[in-house]
Amino acid sequence: MAKVTIDGIEVEVADGTTILNAARQIGGDVVPPAMCYYSSLKETGGKCRVCLVKVTQGSAKDPRPMPKLVASCRTPVMDGMVVQNISSAEVLEARKGVVEFLLLNHPLDCPICDQAGECDLQNLAYEHGAAKTRYEEERRTFEKIDIGDKIKLHMTRCILCYRCTFVADQLTNNRVHGVLNRGDASEISTYIEKAVDNDFSGNMIDVCPVGALTDKTFRFKSRVWFTKPLDAHRDCPTCSGKVVLWTKGEEVLRVSARKDQYGEVKEFICNECRYDHKNMKDWVVEGPRHIERNSVISQNHYEKIDLQKLKLEVDRQLTFQKGKQLPQSNTSQA
Ligand code: SF4
Ligand code: FES
């Protein structure tokens, strides 16, 4: 086990745990954002740099600070390590710079993008972005491509996080993933097209942090905040069958996998559940999906308040403000 202190809060974690996952064990505001790391996919991380943190003490044995900011999703903790995330002005400034880089080529088309309201880059830009861009060159653009009959690739919005290629690599049969070319000519390879027949290819849509891969069966049907998300399940022979139904009245507009508080799917779902069961009668509805209050999706969203959970969250925030140890968070997000 290793003891690590992040933003003044100490936590004990298993050896080999990354700084990001140690921060997630603390929970709350000390957790760095992540655009490319995805805990349920192997080898992810190290691409986007939004999770940069400052290591002010390397370990108990060697207390020297690390000379540069490090990617927390790829850096394992050492016993006695001291890390700064939101308590470091240098980290916040660097993150602002990373967001500026991510937005160099990303179009600011949120008003017409299907991912609006669920886009990690949109949220990150609100928190860390600058109001103006200094970029004067022409942004790179691509034609929209159909990846099979259910997924639309809008490469112009892609931030090259590689998550979808890991889905293609790890959840489908063949090694068909890839990013073609280098530098600003990089693009998600059409080899992914060859993975679309696989039962689990639809998960590329859920792992995409921006609106580059969208569900053609849902595109332009509704803004996500006008829908009512419900937890539901069915007896599926291929996957867990545990999904979120995005509904309007009795109509099921979209079926997606369930995401945790970090926007990650823990149980991937099959394409049959995702595309072929858009009828409420096919599902056992468990109840409204829990949505964080700060999400635009929470508009018009009512659910029974768990007072115990609410009290725990308020206690967490108050304890955090006092700079003491935080109890574990139990909250989850759609
Ligand atoms: S298409 Fe989406 S998931 Fe794939 S690399 Fe681009 S941003 Fe990431
Ligand atoms: S989340 Fe760590 S580099 Fe992308």
User: What's the 40 CA to ligand 2 centre distance in angstroms?
Assistant: 14
User: What's the 47 CA to ligand 2 centre distance in angstroms?
Assistant: 6
Percent of the chain as helix, strand, coil, to the nearest 5: 30, 20, 55
**DSSP helix/strand/coil, 8:** coil
Asked if the model's pLDDT at residue 205 lies above 90, the reply is yes
Sequence letter at residue 131: A
Q: Which regions of the chain does DSSP assign to beta strands (E)?
A: 2-6, 9-13, 52-57, 70-71, 81-84, 145-147, 151-153, 179-180, 187-188, 213-215, 228-233, 242-248, 251-257, 284-288
Distance of CA 21 to the CA centre of its chain: 14
- Compute the distance between CA of residue 182 and CA of residue 329 in angstroms, rounded to an integer: 40
Sequence letter at residue 265: V
Comparing 323 with 68, the larger pLDDT belongs to: 68
Give residues (CB < 6 A) around ligand 1: 158-164, 188, 207-210, 212-213
Ligand with the closest atom to the CA of 74: 2
Comparing 128 with 4, the larger pLDDT belongs to: 4
Mean pLDDT of the chain: 87
Q: pLDDT tens digit string along 226-237?
A: 999 999 999 999
Q: pLDDT tens digit string along 109-134?
A: 888 999 998 999 998 988 887 777 78
- With cut-offs at 50, 70 and 90, classify the pLDDT of residue 318: confident
- With cut-offs at 50, 70 and 90, classify the pLDDT of residue 251: very high
Domain spans of the chain, in order of start: 2-91, 103-219, 221-304
Q: What pTM did the predictor assign?
A: 0.84
Percent pLDDT > 70 in the chain is 86
Quick one: fold of 2-91? Ubiquitin-like (UB roll) (3.10.20)
The confidence score (pLDDT) of residue 329 equals: 47
Largest CA distance in the chain: 61
Q: Which atom of ligand 1 is nearest to the CA of 161?
A: 8
Q: Which atom of ligand 1 is nearest to the CA of 207?
A: 3
Comparing 76 with 261, the larger pLDDT belongs to: 76
* 103-219 is a CATH 3.90.280.10 domain: no
The confidence score (pLDDT) of residue 302 equals: 65
